[in-house]
Structure formats: structure tokens, C-alpha cells
Chains A and B, each alone.
Chain A
């Protein structure tokens, strides 16, 4: 794993999303089906307007006792913590540690283009961009 490599090398470039009016139950079912820990919330123009994770469901739905039919727009995080796609991995990890977050959204020219999570970090530590073919 190379701490100087831009985070775009290791991020997940394909995002799973839901519409703002999707219920938290449907969104949670989707997280289970696709085994992901977070989803982005997309408006009709395809822009990312929010983000939420499994722990947001616990913290903002289950604990306060909101109904399962609550739309995700009511519990999503609207103030997104993002980094630029060219930020070196080391810096991204520092930012995640500072904010104590496990998922961070990656942006490029003002658009969310990827996500980097702790599982991506695990993957990055395993899958090194190297070649074994020969030294030359």
C-alpha cells in the first residue's frame, strides 16, 4: 500500500444509491442485499445530496424510535465530508481518523465520484499495484 498514491486508485468508483423518498427499511434491505455499509442519496438530476451509513440507521432511526417508513432524506447526513480524488491516501486516512469516520466520499470537480471505506483500505493493503513478471 502506497500512502502517497492518490485515493482514486483505491476508492470504489461505482456507488450504490437511493432516492430521497426511499424508506429507511427499503434502504436497509438494499444495504443487506449488496453487503454495503453505506448508501448515497441521489436527487432526480443524479446529484449526490446526502449520505448515510448503517450506524446512522441505528443512531437516527432505531434509538429515537422513528418508524421504518421514515424517508431517508430525513435521516441522511447532508453536510458531506469529502476529499479530492487526487489526495494522497495517507492524508485521507488522517482526515478519516480526525472525524472518526469509516467512510469518506471522494469528489472530483465538485461531483461525488467515489467512496473510500475501511474495507477499501483492507483491500488496498492486500492488492498491491506491482508486477512480479521480472525486475527489468
Chain B
């Protein structure tokens, strides 16, 4: 199956639309052996009637089966109604021999953000169940599923990207196709390939980039995506999933991490003191980790009384500790108090391992930022410690977490995720959103800790902490229920890159 993936044509009679880029790409598509063309939204620039008239004429130049997904620009000015009239259905299904394409309208009228709300989510789920037997399953929508690099403030992923990602991964979807921010990019999230097209014919490219489209080739072995720019430059990326995934642990356990987050120590009712006491006891007596990593929100408010209480809990932990502040920790006087009580988070080297804390909390807002200088520091540290097993530790989420709204993101999650994956970082730990979750993006497992002792969490398993064991050739992560001690597998990944001991 060979698919041409175009996006963000922004057809209008204004300067935003570059008709020569459109014609060039359409001409290429028509002369190459594509089986299907998928346009992932923003066909028009403002959802206006004359734009739709113009667009419906132009897209007819594509002489291949064509699927068009609505984008936020198409939904402007009640353009979503015109979309159905001039272009086609807002959501739908296209079947081919071994597979299926399910596209879904992720727009919110008059907003740039995306959402696949309750009805649409259930529809998507029902379709995935209906076509479960198909070998190739493709889901297409306009908005991002994981943060994209070079998008400035990354705030336009689907609001409920975590829930959607969970659904796609459970159903073993092969490919997610999207557009939106005009940045071509390809990630693999576990075995799901997330293919983001750049913009086909809009003037608004990023970083002085040129127009492009993606060529997606799906075979029985995997998915290969080629980003093809109008200059003829090509960048290829391929993912061949391995099935079945069977793990035969080799050698001894090299490291055990206990990862906690959101203890939110305070005198409020929501703080479950007993649960935290229990968990600390279990960590000391039963799990005996090499290091305890707290990914932030140690206290609920940055005041001295809560810091004093928190200190009493955490000084009981026998293992070495690394604590990064979350947004709650630095409220009020917290910025100074955190350093007074727990010290400035510093890089810890321990044999073959290195732990790199990143500060992302901002004063009195939930939204985090690493910043351009922070990104540079992170990149340099990852390069400096290339020979070691690198663990990046931060508070804010890099990938969306189920049940959480995208509010918890980093402003620059796209860039930070890119640095972490480009450097083939061995492990990344985060602690925001109140739900334990783990996925591997490219070669990096990214594990989020739920809340260990705060009643306001989003984890059906309850308050929990994570247990992460590193073996010679694999990493295994469990979620441990903080009250009962029952364990649940979060993820298991083979170590394939270069590590000091292999």
C-alpha cells in the first residue's frame, strides 16, 4: 500500500496559499504509483464559501482515491457544514484489501485546539472493534497526538490525546496520520507510527522550511515514511514491529528505581498521610531500591509548615533520593523553601548510570517549560554522558497521559521530546497528571508516575508509585498500589541501543 499524505493546503485567494507548490505536489502524486491520497485537514484557509468552491475544484485535480479530513481552519466560520457539502463526510471509513482507514473530525468550531470527545471517541472505538481483523489499521485526524518539535508553544495536541493514544495502542493501530502545525515529523510510539505531514501549499512554514508531503509505504513488515520536500530532498524513517514480544531476562538486576510523584504533603483532607507512611515503609523494607526519584509536587503548597511535614516523611527513606520540584512545590515561598529543605536538584552519577534532573515548573501555573537554554543544557548533558545509561527526570509530561487534559504539558514538550529521542536517551521519568503511564517513544521509554498520596488523582488503580528495574538487556516497570502493594505491569522494553555493559 502506497499512500501520499498531504496536509494543510490552506486554499484561498489570499497570499497564504501557494498554488505552484500545490500544483507541483499534485502533479507528482498523479505520476507516481500511489494507491491512495490522504489529506489531513486545513483544506481551506478560513472555511469560507469561496474557498470551499475553489478547493473542491482544485482537489479534483488529484486523480487517485482521496480522503479528506477536516482541520481547524476548515471549521472556522461554520465551515464544517460547507465541508460536508463541498468536500465530503467529516468522519468516515475507507476499506482496502488488507486494511482500513478511519478518519475522524477532531476540530472544535472557532478554536485551533483539537478534541475527540465522547461521541466521536465511542464511534472511533466501535469502528476499531468492527475492523479489528484488518491487518493494517490507519487512523487519521487533523491534530497531533504527541508533541511536535519546532512548534513554539506546543499547546495544540488533542485535549484528550492521552485517551486517544491509549485507545489506538490497545487496538494495535498501525499508523496515525495528522497535520496541523506545518512540521513534518515521524515518531514511533510503541508499535504505532505517528506520521505528521508538513504543509503542502501554505506560506506559513516553520524555521524557513519549504512545502512538503509524506510518502507512506505499508508492507507486511512495517511502515516506511518518507518526508519529501518540494526541493526533492527526502528523509526516510522505517519501523518494523517485532511480534510476538517475548522477554527472557538475562543476568542480574543492575538497578532498581522507585519513582514517586504528587505526594502533596499538607494538612488537607486530600493528603493521605497513612498511605504515604505505608508506601515509604514498603519502599524501605520490601523494595529496597538503589534510588528513589520524586518527580515533583512533594508538598501541596510552597509553605514552611508543609515542607517541614514533607521532610519528616522523606528523611525516613533509606535509599539515595533525587527530587525535582513540581509546580505546587514552588508556589508562594516554595521556590526558596524547596532548595532549603531538599537542595538544588543535581546530576547524580552512580556507576554506569546517570540521573539528569530538569527543572520545568513555573511560578503559580501548572504549565511547565524547560526553555531554550534549558534545552541546550539538556542536550549537552545527554551528549556528555553518552557512554552511560541516562535517566532524565522531570515533573511535566512529555507525552499525553490518559485521563489528563493536556494542561499538564510543557510549553516546549515538542522540542524536549525531540532532544530526548534524538539522543536515544535510555529512560525518562515524569510525574504530572496523577496517572501512571508508560510508553516508548522511538528508543526511549517515558514513564509517568501517578500520585502516591493525594486523593485528587486520575488513576483507576488508586494511589501508586512505580517500580522500575533495569536488567542487562531489558527495562521493566510496574505500578505498585500504594495501599495494598499489588503490582501491575506498566511496560517492558528490550534495551537495544548502546549501554555501558553490552
Contacts and interface: CB of A to CB of B under 8 A. Distances in A.
A and B part of one assembly = yes
A58 interface: no
| Max chain B Cβ within 10 angstroms of own Cβ: one of A10, A126, A128, A134 | A134
Given A4-B129, A8-B172, A131-B160, A15 B118 contact: no
A123 B488 contact: yes
Nearest to A128: B460
B202 to A, nearest CB: 27
A35 interface: yes
B221 to A, nearest CB: 14
A14 B160 contact: no
Contacts of B171: 6, 8-9
Secondary structure of the B contact surface, majority rule: mixed
A116 B115 CA distance: 32
Which 5 A-B pairs give the minimum distances between C-beta atoms?
A133-B160, A131-B163, A136-B117, A126-B460, A134-B117
A111 B246 CA distance: 12
Contact of A133 (B118, B132, B460, B478): B118
B172 A48 contact: no
Contacts of A30: 249
A65 interface: no
Contacts of B160: 131-133
A113 B243 contact: yes
Nearest to B158: A133
A125 B399 CA distance: 25
B489 A14 contact: yes
B423 to A, nearest CB: 25
B461 A14 contact: no
Contact of A17 (B120, B247, B491): B247
Nearest to A10: B170
Contacts of B163: 129-133
Contact of B247 (A6, A14, A108, A112): A14
Interface residues of B toward A: which range?
35 or more
Contacts of B115: 133-134, 136
A127 B23 CA distance: 48
A134 to B, nearest CB: 4
A62 interface: no
A129 B133 contact: no
A12 interface: yes
Q: Which of A18, A123, A130 is the most central at the interface, judged by chain B CB atoms within 10 Å of its CB?
A: A130
Given A8-B171, A136-B115, A136-B117, A48 B244 contact: yes
A48 B118 CA distance: 40
B247 A16 contact: yes
Contact of B167 (A114, A129, A136): A129
Contacts of B492: 14, 16
A34 B476 contact: yes
A135 B248 contact: no
Contact of B487 (A35, A127, A129, A136): A35
B405 interface: yes
B35 to A, nearest CB: 23
Interface string B119-142: 111100100010011000000000
A2 B132 CA distance: 14
Contacts of B167: 129
Interface of B: 115-122, 125, 129, 132-133, 159-160, 163-164, 166-167, 170-172, 243-249, 403, 405, 460-461, 476, 478, 487-489, 491-492
Interface residues of A, number: 41
A85 to B, nearest CB: 8
B403 A132 contact: yes
9 contacts: A4-B129, A17-B247, A40-B246, A113-B244, A114-B244, A126-B461, A133-B159, A133-B163, A135-B117
B489 A46 contact: no
Given A6-B132, A126-B460, A129-B125, A15 B245 contact: yes
Given A15-B246, A129-B166, A136-B117, 19 more contacts: A2-B129, A5-B129, A9-B171, A12-B489, A14-B245, A14-B246, A16-B249, A34-B476, A40-B246, A108-B243, A128-B460, A130-B121, A131-B116, A131-B118, A132-B118, A133-B116, A134-B115, A134-B117, A135-B117
B243 A42 contact: no
A136 B163 CA distance: 15
Contacts of B125: 129
Contacts of B170: 8-10, 129
Contacts of B164: 131
Given A48-B246, A129-B170, A133-B115, A86 B478 contact: no
A133 B166 CA distance: 14
A17 B243 contact: no
A48 B132 CA distance: 24
Interface string A11-39: 01111111100000000001000110000
A35 B478 contact: yes
A107 to B, nearest CB: 9
Contacts of A15: 244-247
Contacts of B489: 12, 14
Q: Which of the listed residues A6, A46, A123 has the most CB atoms from chain B within 10 Å of its own CB?
A: A6
A113 B26 CA distance: 41
B246 A46 contact: yes
Nearest to A127: B460
Contacts of A86: 132-133
A114 B125 CA distance: 21
Contact of B132 (A8, A19, A46): A8
A15 B166 CA distance: 20
Contacts of B172: 8
